[in-house]
Amino acid sequence: MENCKEKKIEDYVRSIPDFPEEGIIFRDVTSILQDADGFALAVDSMQKLLEDTDIDVIVGTESRGFIFGAPIAYNLHKPLVLVRKKGKLPCETIEQSYELEYGSAVVEMHRDSIQPGQKVAIVDDLIATGGTIEAAAHMVEELGGEVVKIVFLMELAGLKGRERLEKYEVASVIRYEGK
């Protein structure tokens, strides 16, 4: 007998225990992308979190934010702005550094990518500590944009990234309580 139960996005996530170190459960987004139905469900679910939100621009962070941001921007007929690692964008950029668990990193966006007053939604696959997205939001604001919503496919609540982003409206499709 065929299973009549419709699959949820969680059903497409491959969980890998003890990676990258013991005690961590790695939530693998590639298993979602490798299934056409899973990918469509992920994009549709993230896009649904943006319903009733006035948006001018979608910002996607390197690299999986590009994967989900691009189809959402296409579906909503909005421009897609990329936030990339330092040195990857060809035109004049602004940059923001942020702290990682071990060290720091720098992300950039084109100086002309956000116009003053534009309403921006930031999209990424996963919120852990929130550092990358906080850096992206600061750059949007530096250019005069307003971050109206931040959307994630998955949230690792145990790493408290949502608290770091508390001044923004944050939504996630899936919430895992651990790290």
Catalytic residues: 64, 101
- The span from the CA of 122 to the CA of 10, in Å, is 22
Taking each helix axis as running N to C, give the angle between helix 36-48 and helix 64-76, from 0 to 180 degrees, rounded to the nearest 10: 70
Q: Which of 64, 78, 59, 75 is nearest to 122 (CA)?
A: 59
Is residue 136 within 8 Å of residue 99, measured between CB atoms?
no
- The span from the CA of 143 to the CA of 168, in Å, is 17
The enclosing H or E element of 33 equals helix 30-33
